[in-house]
Chain A
Amino acid sequence: SQKIEQNSEALNIQEGKTATLTCNYTNYSPAYLQWYRQDPGRGPVFLLLIRENEKEKRKERLKVTFDTTLKQSLFHITASQPADSATYLCARRQGGKLIFGQGTELSVKP
């Protein structure tokens, strides 16, 4: 089966810096990857979708890349703020449904 893996270690960064989170997948490249944000006790919220034929996608301070050679997606938050602290999940399509990574917790310190 296809797997999707994120760094389970929490990422701690200083306000104003760029946060970079990694998502790796196995086997064939999915048609797209999605990124979600989850706050404690809440359901995940969709942030960005990047398709296999797109190298990069941006939305405000967010940037996602998709490298089919490395089988990896990187999620960047520039000029990070304490309000960006949350768990970020990546997900890949598999048979019409989404399979999620375990998520990476981001903590942005003032």
Chain B
Amino acid sequence: DADVTQTPRNRITKTGKRIMLECSQTKGHDRMYWYRQDPGLGLRLIYYSFDVKDINKGEISDGYSVSRQAQAKFSLSLESAIPNQTALYFCATSIGEGKGDEKLFFGSGTQLSVL
């Protein structure tokens, strides 16, 4: 089983709809992240959370919200989806700074299309 699991893998929705992307991890990591990837723009950080009670905005948080329901779960919501939110979304985890391993572990991604 994957250590970082994203659901759904693919989603097609219509403009104005509310949608939630979910991420769960079995790695026991404190830190979780949501990125989106667009062709030519690379990975851009949407939101991140360093522990259950911590939520921080990233580079491009407008139009998105998140919830950290537990150490293992971090969900991303689009309250009213718009076409330019069509992208590949990745969840990632890390153990935390200063704990000897700062690398990220990514899920397999969710391809979201907003029509």
Contact = CB atoms under 8 A, between A and B. Distances in A.
Interface of A: 6, 8, 32, 34, 36, 41-46, 49, 89, 91, 93, 96-103
Contact of B103 (A49, A89, A99): A49
B90 A43 contact: yes
Interface in B29-72: 33, 35, 40-45, 48, 50, 56, 58-59
Contact of B42 (A42, A45, A49, A100): A100
A98 B97 CA distance: 11
A101 B90 CA distance: 15
A96 B43 contact: no
Contacts of A49: 102-103
Given A44-B106, A46-B104, A97 B41 contact: no
A99 B106 contact: no
B43 A100 contact: yes
Given A43-B90, A96-B50, A96-B97, A101 B106 contact: no
